[in-house]
Structure 1
């Protein structure tokens, strides 16, 4: 029996409870159909779960999750030393909160798998949930999570993200890692925009979308422009993803580099959508100021990045 079919929907089951059937073939068939619809597990596994739990759907579902998780942890232990150089960046922005996560796997084939993409979406939403709980008085707040911190985050149904990671490994049959996350929250007149590249694959509804790709960026900005122009602000994220500026830059302090290909200040870079203008000139046309940004790339070194996040958190709190 396929382990993937057994495990693949363990992270996305409903929390609704059904009354367990007590006797009669009609009730047993009804319980079996309900359990399969609720969990997505195979016929034989659902049948065994009901037999072992006297047709009580709630207990049978709990047993199925325990079995799936045990199989996942066993597989995770066996493949723990395998390199995870591939994966996806997930970017989720909802109003004044944003989360960007990196989830790794062994092969690009698995990174394109819908189960893997749903897991990236799940991690981003868990991070955003904890961002929603944060209260602060400043304009900008950022929090970075390393792998250990992420794996210990509890989820809605009582498991940790580490438990869900084990389920994913069991479902996909290869190693996977929750590597890092960065959460943004802004107040007052600041706004957020996010972008993932290449050609973002949407997970979720149009209004509440996790974008996934090999690169990602979140930008915090302020604008006095009369109309909010999502495509323009997204283009600034694309600029950051494509040209990797090291800092925003200051108009009256930073001099533009002689070689535009080596320009490290965002405002002095050639604007990707109009080579006749710099990013700074376009920002001024749109009465927009970039306040902060962060860029993720699959597999990049993270030590300096985490130090930058910690430093920016300290500066934002002062």
Structure 2
């Protein structure tokens, strides 16, 4: 009789325990995205403690990512994305590279570009604003890797984790950050357009432009800024230019922004548009993914101000 009661108690309890374990396993898989076998192993090793199991899984993934990153280091990365974002008086332009265009379209890779851009915006917010309407800060690859993210890890840690997940080499190449006075308007544009990731624009080409209103006119400076930034991305001017710069004989060879035919309306030049709206360009920056750089990105120790 006692034996029968023991068996009955066992049969009653066992399914409930198993259901609980299955539930924890499902929660852990959904939260982490790791495989069934890895999640099951993590729970068994930590007596079904979800927090400890999740921590162990992340450590294993990070170790695997660093291992893969080390093995793949040196493989050429000419594809990827340029990410650009504006947040009030801050702007960031970041290039993240990978080996193939296929990976550049992957959501995990796009998440990495977003994380890097957010880290740059946060970094810019903490920098002192030097005299002048705009402070421009350049970050090289190593400086980018050291930037902290909102979860406390460095961008290098996030990059290693992504490499471990995608199995392809990737690099953080460069960034430029703008910090402006309150009377400066920042605009961003990326091409091909239409790809936006949590308010961050992604493309193979991207740009930032800083504008200042010289005259009090009722204009849509947001739309104007976007159009002018689109012009910078499409026409690739090398400098703003001044009235003392002689326009090129062939308009296709023009490299001064103000003397170029306006991309949005080629019956005008950019300077005519600026005069019409009472606006001046304070600064701009354009990145093309994978472009050859005759001059590397200026390091953090080089901080420019525009007077």
Normalising by structure 1, report the TM-score. Answer: 0.85
The reply to whether residue 171 of structure 1 matches residue 165 of structure 2 is yes
Measured in 1, the distance between the counterparts of 2:240 and 2:285 equals: 11
Could you say if the C-alpha distance between residues 25 and 309 of structure 1 is closer, same or farther in structure 2, counting changes exceeding 3 Å?
closer
**In the comparison of the two structures, how many residue pairs are matched?**
289
Deviation at 1:309, TM superposition (A): 8.7
Aligned counterpart, 2:11:
none
Aligned counterpart, 2:180:
186
Is residue 89–residue 179 contact of structure 2 (8 Å, CA) maintained in 1? Answer: yes
Aligned counterpart, 1:218:
208
Task: Describe the SS at the equivalent of 2:295.
Answer: helix
Q: Residue 246 of structure 1: which of 238, 241, 264 is its match?
A: 238
Q: Residue 192 of structure 2: which of 198, 216, 221 is its match?
A: 198
Could you say if the C-alpha distance between residues 191 and 305 of structure 1 is closer, same or farther in structure 2, counting changes exceeding 3 Å?
farther
Q: Which stretch shows the higher mean deviation, 211-220 or 191-200?
A: 191-200
Aligned counterpart, 2:56:
63
Q: How does 1:28-107 map to 2 (within 5 A)?
A: 28-107=21-100
Deviation at 1:33, TM superposition (A): 2.7
Measured in 2, the distance between the counterparts of 1:247 and 1:198 equals: 23
Task: Describe the SS at the equivalent of 1:280.
Answer: helix
Could you say if the C-alpha distance between residues 93 and 124 of structure 1 is closer, same or farther in structure 2, counting changes exceeding 3 Å?
same
Q: Residue 258 of structure 2: which of 263, 267, 271 is its match?
A: 267
Task: Describe the SS at the equivalent of 1:281.
Answer: helix
Could you say if the C-alpha distance between residues 137 and 40 of structure 1 is closer, same or farther in structure 2, counting changes exceeding 3 Å?
same
Is residue 68–residue 167 contact of structure 2 (8 Å, CA) maintained in 1? Answer: yes
The reply to whether residue 153 of structure 1 matches residue 143 of structure 2 is no
Aligned counterpart, 1:141:
135
Aligned counterpart, 1:16:
none
Task: Describe the SS at the equivalent of 2:264.
Answer: coil
Q: Deviations over 1:92-111 (max 9, x none)?
A: 11111111110001111111
Normalising by structure 2, report the TM-score. Answer: 0.88
Deviation at 1:315, TM superposition (A): 4.1
Is residue 136–residue 305 contact of structure 2 (8 Å, CA) maintained in 1? Answer: no
Unpaired runs of 5+ in structure 1? 1-22
Q: Which stretch shows the higher mean deviation, 168-177 or 24-33?
A: 24-33
Q: Residue 295 of structure 1: which of 281, 286, 291 is its match?
A: 286
Superposition CA RMSD, Å: 2.0
Is residue 129–residue 179 contact of structure 2 (8 Å, CA) maintained in 1? Answer: no
Is residue 191–residue 220 contact of structure 1 (8 Å, CA) maintained in 2? Answer: yes
Computing the radius of gyration from Cα coordinates, the structure with the larger value is 2
Unpaired runs of 5+ in structure 2? 1-15
Deviation at 1:271, TM superposition (A): 0.6
Could you say if the C-alpha distance between residues 309 and 66 of structure 1 is closer, same or farther in structure 2, counting changes exceeding 3 Å?
closer
Deviation at 1:179, TM superposition (A): 0.7
Could you say if the C-alpha distance between residues 244 and 114 of structure 1 is closer, same or farther in structure 2, counting changes exceeding 3 Å?
same
Q: Which stretch shows the higher mean deviation, 300-309 or 128-137?
A: 300-309
Aligned counterpart, 1:20:
none
Is residue 135–residue 304 contact of structure 2 (8 Å, CA) maintained in 1? Answer: no
Q: Residue 124 of structure 1: which of 117, 129, 152 is its match?
A: 117
Q: Deviations over 1:213-248 (max 9, x none)?
A: 111100011124323343321111111111111110
Measured in 2, the distance between the counterparts of 1:147 and 1:113 equals: 22
